[in-house]
Structure 1
Amino acid sequence: MKDASVIPILMYHQIGQPSPRGTPYRGLTVHPASFRRQMAWMRRLGYRGLSMRDLMPYLQGQKQGRVFGITFDDGYVNVLANALPVLRELGFTSTNYFVAHRFGGTNEWDHANGVPSAPLMSREQARQWVAGGQEAGSHTLDHPNLPDLAPEAAFEQIHSSRQELQQALDAEVTAFCYPYGHETPALRDMVRRAGYTSATTTSGGLAGPADDLFGLPRVTVARSTHIVRFLQKCLTRLEDKKRHA
């Protein structure tokens, strides 16, 4: 079973009906019934789902308990529609990483790869998310590949997105997520300097005491992740063995 010192931070993207077979990244859309089943099982096993803000005392070793993190990348409308009711029903909190300049837009950064267009929350819908007891995090201004940018441009994406989201949503923003999971030691330092308290990647594994709070691994939950595999990922250290594979 899971060591008390390690914590699963789940990574979701969309919660909705999957695109047609053969569609690129189809697996990143988890069916609403699967999401509900996953959350219900964690609750049944005595675990509490938490946002990155609420998870911080556990990640820092100040608290211990049966907890796990819940994160969503990009701010899709279907997460508001299909995940928020489940989270509220179970008393869970979560973090949605919003792209500050794409409120009311689509996942245009995916279009070149053939990924179908999917609507992102408007500013008002993001406010509904926050009003529903959930956390808003930053996924930059425009979802660029940060390592490709000049340092000044990268810092602008990291710093200004926090400022703009706080103003737009009237909520403190302290959680950051690297687009595509691509990051470097210099980018981690920029995130620290911008005033965030945590940052997540797409590296697989459970978060433990040795992990940098600005380079936290996550557990990817895909459309095909059946419930037994889901529980294995969350409650054992299988994923840690793969982190640097």
Structure 2
Amino acid sequence: MTQTVSKRTWSDTGRPFPYVLMYHSVAVYQHDPYLVTVDPRRFDQQLRWLRSNDLRGVSMRELMQARRAGDARGLVGLTFDDGYADFARNVVPALRRHGCSATVFVIAGRIGGDNEWDPAGPRKRLMTAEEVQEVAGAGVEVGSHGLLHQHLSYVDEDELFAEVVGSRELLREITGQDVAGFCYPYGDVDRRVVHAVEAAGYDYACAIWRSEASGVHALPRTYIGDRDGALRLRAKHLRHRLTTNR
């Protein structure tokens, strides 16, 4: 899908985009062809870097509320796509150690399954319903990553409704909480999909790249991988500041 660069501000408010980091899996690994895994030791170093630079990782819910109140200085959105089981095992304890929070985007129709959409990579187990409940009870925001991890710009209207609305209903049943955020699988988003997410009542949604659809319901994010040490983290943070405040 071709992405075109849009204006550097929120399409509906004229404010700069928030700084949001995109993670997937945090686990010890040997083979990672899709570059979606961060070693737990590296992740701990990355959180330590944030705190030592007067930044604090928070959930998207907290970040969006703080921005509406005009009090988001030093807050960075931490997001984790797919809902891997290692989120409960490795991420939640690290967040607690560093006084941070996060949002995990769960694939509602694949809970308890694995990442079969990544055929060349190692099998990674996804959280069970009990694990999703556990992380929600620990204060983590649970958002929707759709129903089956599909390219949403390619599905018909009925499938899109199931992906956007059906996934939210399932996650509400599991967590007993509202589901305020959505995340587009593969970062695949166009205006039709954005309109469906907005119409479903989500407060915000996360994409990957900036595009003509960018805004509160298609927020761009910064990819973070296992190679991102202090120098690369600093460079990515600086790049965000320069490109959103011109």
Q: What is the TM-score of this pair, normalised by structure 1?
A: 0.87
* 153, 161, 183: which one aligns with 2:159: 153
Match in the other structure for 1:30: 38
Give how far 1:59 is off: 4.1
8 Å CA contact retained: 1:88, 1:132: no
AA at the equivalent of 2:177: A
Percentage identity across paired residues of the two chains? 33
Distance 2:69 2:218 in 1: 17
Match in the other structure for 2:174: 168
The C-alpha deviation readout for 1:172-221, integer Å capped at 9, x for no partner, is: 1011000000011111111011111111111169xxxx951111000100
Match in the other structure for 2:7: none
Match in the other structure for 2:48: 40
AA at the equivalent of 2:138: G
* Equivalences, count: 229
* 224, 229, 239: which one aligns with 2:227: 224
* 96, 118, 123: which one aligns with 1:117: 123
* 11, 21, 27: which one aligns with 1:16: 27
Match in the other structure for 1:62: 70
Give how far 1:80 is off: 1.3
AA at the equivalent of 1:24: P
AA at the equivalent of 2:189: E
Distance 1:162 1:15 in 2: 25
Q: Say whether residues 1:190 and 2:196 are aligned partners.
A: yes
Distance 2:242 2:193 in 1: 25
Distance 1:97 1:239 in 2: 28
Distance 1:235 1:136 in 2: 29
8 Å CA contact retained: 1:204, 1:239: no
Distance 2:240 2:57 in 1: 18
Give how far 1:236 is off: 3.6
The C-alpha deviation readout for 1:18-42, integer Å capped at 9, x for no partner, is: 333xx521x2100111111111111
Distance 1:204 1:46 in 2: 26
8 Å CA contact retained: 2:81, 2:145: yes
Q: What is the TM-score of this pair, normalised by structure 2?
A: 0.87
Structure 2 vs 1, CA of residues 124 and 58 (structure 1 numbering), >3 Å: closer, same or farther?
A: same
3-state secondary structure, aligned to 1:192: helix
Give how far 1:12 is off: 0.3
